[in-house]
Structure 1
Amino acid sequence: MQRIAIIGCGGSGKTTIGRQLADKIGTTITHLDVVYYDDQWNKMDPAKFAALQEELVSADSWVIDGNYAGTLPIRLKRADTVIFLDLPATTCLWGIAQRRMKNRGGQNDATGVYDRITWGFIKYVWGYRKEMAPRVRELIAEHGQHADVHIVTSRRAANRLVAQLAAIAPA
């Protein structure tokens, strides 16, 4: 377990799990939102974003959290461990609310990204399991079949998984 791709809806816990596992295997975590958006929420050029991910996954050890289905195959092809946090919308929305309260609506200390909650984002989170999750599952089946794949559907299961992976991770 040296190359970990963490995928899931906003508020699913990608950053929290990613930090814990990165610490355990002695590597850094890359938050794709930090890479993709600048301080004014302008998006990175798609070709540049893909090239940067190719560079990131060429390292021997990494943890990358983010969804971005268009570039997910880049991460899946090189990952040895894939964690898909397929949590209910209410759980994710609660996670977003907690993060917002913790950061007082400002910059997320863990990632450096400013929380940006829009009606479009809430609709995306609400519809994620119906609209995005099937695509993510297809991409995992197509590009991640060689990896140790974990699909998690609750916070409790996510906590158990992290404990199990941390116990077997190289120190």
Structure 2
Amino acid sequence: MNPPSRILIYGIHGSGKSTLAELLAERLGLPWHPVDDLLWEPGWVEVPVAVQRGRIEAICRRERWILDGAYHGWRDVPLSRADLVICLDYPRGLSFRRLLRRTMRRLSTREVICNGNHESWGSVLSWDSVLRWHLTDYGPERRRMRAWHADPSGPPVLLFDAPAALDRWLAELSR
């Protein structure tokens, strides 16, 4: 079987989508397009959804890509072109701890996230906080991933419910 060439990685905030995308890009030699770089301009200015969609459509027309997320205004685009969807369906506590740890690290180091943006206490404590998004989006995202996994009409979906399961798959992929 040929390795996939169009991969969508999906999961709740903090599940490890970008980390996995970077790893797969290196192992498979595929171009990775970090979704946050396509959605946010400097100063945390959100790109209009129509522009986001156009950017994603341009990437998905290519024969080789990895995307580390898919959002409401254009989720259908990579889903219609992916030859593999990898879903990180980890327990809420695990993904929230990962997200909290990452957020605290970014706050303390002023790590650049996308297009020169940084997390700040203001953003973390705001109504639009990634921590709040995790809490409100967890259930709907989990249901979405499980529905994709159960749908034989869509692209193949690998649903990982624990990091150890993903590690086993990555070990097999390396062979």
Which of these residues, 76, 79, 87, is aligned with residue 79 of structure 2? 76
Please tell me whether the aligned partners of residues 83 and 151 of structure 1 are also in contact (alpha carbons under 8 angstroms). Answer: yes
TM-score by length of 2: 0.80
Aligned to 2:172: 164
What is the RMSD computed on CA atoms of the aligned residues? Answer: 2.6
Once the two structures are superposed, the pairs formed by residues 30-49 of structure 1 within 5 Å of their partners are 30-49=33-52
Higher relative contact order (Cα pairs below 8 Å, separated by 6+ residues): 1
1:127/1:149 CA distance change after superposition, 3 Å? same
1:99/1:48 CA distance change after superposition, 3 Å? same
Question: Which amino acid in structure 2 is aligned with residue 12 of structure 1?
Answer: S
Which of these residues, 141, 144, 154, is aligned with residue 162 of structure 2? 154
Look up the SS of the partner of 1:150 in the other structure: strand
1:55-111 deviation digits (Å, cap 9, x = unpaired): 001111111001313311100111111001111221112112332344435224699
More displaced stretch, 146-155 vs 38-47: 146-155
Following the alignment from structure 1 to structure 2, what is the Cα–Cα distance between the partners of residues 9 and 47?
A: 23
1:142-171 deviation digits (Å, cap 9, x = unpaired): 6x845331011112222222223343xxxx
Q: Structure 2 unaligned runs (5+)?
A: none
Which of these residues, 138, 143, 159, is aligned with residue 129 of structure 1? 138
1:98/1:86 CA distance change after superposition, 3 Å? same
Question: Which amino acid in structure 2 is aligned with residue 114 of structure 1?
Answer: H
Query: Larger radius of gyration, structure 1 or 2?
Result: 2
Following the alignment from structure 2 to structure 1, what is the Cα–Cα distance between the partners of residues 174 and 82?
A: 17
The answer to whether residue 3 in structure 2 is matched with residue 10 in structure 1 is: no
Following the alignment from structure 2 to structure 1, what is the Cα–Cα distance between the partners of residues 95 and 156?
A: 24
Q: Structure 1 unaligned runs (5+)?
A: none
Name the count of aligned residue pairs. Answer: 166
- Give me the identity figure in percent: 25
Question: Which amino acid in structure 2 is aligned with residue 132 of structure 1?
Answer: E
Aligned to 1:51: 54
TM-score by length of 1: 0.82
1:100/1:123 CA distance change after superposition, 3 Å? closer
1:128/1:63 CA distance change after superposition, 3 Å? same
Following the alignment from structure 2 to structure 1, what is the Cα–Cα distance between the partners of residues 75 and 148?
A: 7
